[in-house]
Structure 1
Amino acid sequence: MFKLICTLYTEFNMGMNQQLLFFFSAIGAFNGLLVGLYFVFFIKPKNLSNKLLGALFLALSVRVGKSVFLYFYDTIADVYIQFGLFACWLIGPLLFYYVRSAVTPKSTLVKEATLLILLLSIIGIAINVLFSWSAYHNLWNYFIKVIYLQWLGFVVITGWILHKYRNKWFINSKNKPFRLWLASIYFGNLIICLAFNTGNYTSYIVGALSFSFVFYALILLLTFHKRRDELLFLKTKKYKSNQLNAKDAKELGTQLEDILKKERLFLDANLSLDQVAKLLNVHRGKISQALNEYLHTNFNDFVNAYRIQEAKAMVHNKRDYTFEAIAMDCGFNSKSTFYAAFKKHTGMTPSKFRDQVLKA
């Protein structure tokens, strides 16, 4: 009797474990389909990057869905198996063009991406129509190897693209959320790709579980980030909530010039955008917009331009001053910052400028 109870308990646990495994494997694929459709048809703006991301989610979901049902129900129709492998054939190219469209958006990329994905789709459809899974099972073993190698190849090439443009999208970009999102998309796909490629050595269901984990990590990131545009795009539209028309921008730019000249605020080494915004009683975003659109500069360069004018006058009038003393008197925090700003605004070093003054 005790042995029977133990056997029943063990079988019950195994059944529950199988159900949980199926649930966690399948839920990612199902929700991935919904998110993919949302990105392809409903999200705004409807640009190439969003459409490719949606298509990538759809392809991954279909591929993972095939794996889940084949693992738990090995009697599914051949057409579902072949459809899942066809989707897998497109994952690599979709990842590649999504990353390219996000990092280096170009108008010509639309045509290039469309042509290659269309060509690969035609090849995939032709193979699926001409060679059925049941009739050419041995041949499909070779097709699967080619599909996985192609997927892995595109993942490697995509990694090279990210490395090539690392200064733009990772090092120099101030858009940290975008860097996190793009890195998550890439490394998530790398994990899923490796899981499927090594399935023979681990477990066939590992790829599906990996997708569910990566997918929900991405969805949590997308859901809880306050500004979606910063997350999905390298460059976002500025000043959306603080629009200034041309007349207002010009007027605010004039006020900025007046207050810096009259109050000589630039001599304060700790001067900040927030301080100026408080003095003018305007939102800091509007000041940034006015500087960008009316004066074609940013706050630091705008203030430094006045400091350099002051420094040039001091070089003329106080020739016994050291450059460090001039830098401090003009509002710079350090000699190195002064040298960099001086060269940027005059095209020469302070020493060369002083030499010209002495020769005059």
Structure 2
Amino acid sequence: MISSQLLFLFSALGAVNGIFLACYLFSRRSQRLTNCMLGALLLAISVRTVKSTFLYFNRDLAVEFIQLGISACLFIGPLTYLYVHSHLADLAQRSIGRYWHWHLLLPALVVGLGAVFSYSEYPNIWRHCMSVIHIYWLGYLLLAGRQLWQARVLSRQTILLHSVYFSSCLILLAYATTQFTSYIVGALSFTFSMHVTVLTYFLQTEAKKDKYQNRKLTEEDASAILHSLNQAMRDQQLYLNPNLSLALLAKKVGNLQTTVSQVINDNLGKSFNLYINEFRIQHAKDLLVSESHLNMELVAERSGFNSNSTFFAAFKKITGQTPASYRAAHSEIM
């Protein structure tokens, strides 16, 4: 009896924590789309896990609840892919694209059809759908894995990203092999991966907090470094180099890379990429007005951007409008 209660507790624990974490992510404002993708993914897996847990302990579970769990499973694959895609887009400071909604169209359509072809009336169809759903889920995991492989990013910024992706892989493997193990393994795998993911997230957060704790700069030192940075950027136009890195910038001003990063993050409240892109966008704004014959590709290239998509995304993020609308508005003034 006690072992059964413990099994129920550990099976449901991941789902409950997943729902609370999803609500937390939905409430955050920074990188809102990426957080919403992760929140929606956690919510979908949580609903699926709750269904699995209750069905394991109560075979007479209401069929509507079973249908809800199966429907939620349809969203896990696309949401895993969209979270990876969105996270990588944030790192590259580019747009996720306008058509990401299409990936959720098929799951939404199936949920809508479920109102007509319900589990209670067509139980055999719903039962046989699980194999198709797992293949659908696997297809999106392969797409997401391809993007991760192409990006080849492995740093503190991507610990959570990789943890979420491999957790989705683990949960799919657990659910797809229940015929060889136990139906409850899927729920237990989510509890395990959920807590590993949360642990890595908070370890990553604490690492950021502790990064500079033993290297606090005085206000005078920080101001002097900021002055050197701004002067180097203006006089040498370092931002026009599309391959400008934090290490190269630190070398130019004669400081450690960690010190320059600390000053930009702590004193300006910006990331290195945002700091550089603000100079690039200002240069682009001048070109858009003074060199009206230049097309957008040339403006992007001459402003230090290595791709048009990065240029458009950065311009919209910093100015709140597109390069074309900015040029049009200032051409009328001129």
Alignment TM-score, normalising by the size of structure 2? 0.63
Tell me, in whole angstroms, the C-alpha distance in 2 between the residues paired with 1:188 and 1:88: 15
Query: For 1:265-304, what aligned pairs fall within 5 Å after superposition?
Result: 285-286=262-263
**Contact residue 89 and residue 96 of structure 2 kept, 8 A:** no
Name 1:148's counterpart in structure 2: 134
Residue 42 of structure 2 corresponds to residue 63 of structure 1 = no
How many residues are treated as equivalent by the alignment?
Answer: 243
Question: Aligned partners of 2:43, 2:261: CA distance in 1, in Å?
Answer: 42
Q: Distance in 2 between matches of 1:205 and 1:82?
A: 18
In structure 2, C-alpha distance between the alignment counterparts of 1:251 and 1:149, rounded to whole Å:
55
Corresponding residue to 2:174 among 192, 195, 207: 195
Whole-angstrom CA distance in 1 between matches of 2:208 and 2:77: 25
Whichever residue aligns with residue 33 of structure 1, its letter is I
User: 1:130 and 1:293 mapped to 2: Cα distance?
Assistant: 54
Structure 2 unaligned residues grouped into runs of 5+: 210-217, 234-249, 280-334
Equivalent pair of 2:63/2:119 in contact (CA under 8 Å)? yes
Say what the alpha-carbon RMSD is for the aligned residues: 3.8
Structure 1 position 254, deviation (Å):
5.5
Match of 2:77 among 92, 96, 105: 92
Alignment of 1:131 with 2:123, yes or no, is no
Q: Which amino acid aligns with 1:37?
A: C
Q: CA separation in 1, counterparts of 2:44 and 2:58?
A: 21
Shift of 1:180: 2.2
Q: Give how far 1:50 is off.
A: 0.8
- 1:291-324 CA-partner distances (Å, limit 9, x unpaired): 9769x8xxxxxxxxxxxxxxxxxxxxxxxxxxxx
Change over 3 Å in CA distance of 1:285–1:46 after alignment to 2: closer
Tell me if 1:27 matches 2:13: yes
The answer on 1:213 being equivalent to 2:199 is: no
Q: Which protein has greater RCO, CA pairs closer than 8 Å, 6+ apart?
A: 2
**Contact 1:48 1:110 (C-alpha < 8 Å) held by counterparts:** no
Paired letter, 1:70: L
Aligned residue for 2:65, secondary structure, equals helix
Match for 2:58 among 60, 73, 76?
A: 73
CA distances 1:152-188 after superposition (whole Å, capped 9, x unpaired) = 111122111111111xx12xxxxx2223222211111
CA contact 1:29–1:212 (8 Å) conserved in 2: yes
Deviates most, 215-224 or 22-31: 215-224
Secondary structure, aligned partner of 2:205: coil
Residue 109 (str. 1) matches residue 96 (str. 2): yes
Task: Give ranges in structure 1 of 5+ residues lacking alignment.
Answer: 1-14, 171-175, 231-240, 257-271, 297-360
Equivalent residue for 1:179? 158
* Cα separation, partners in 2 of 1:108 and 1:45, compared to 1, 3 Å: closer
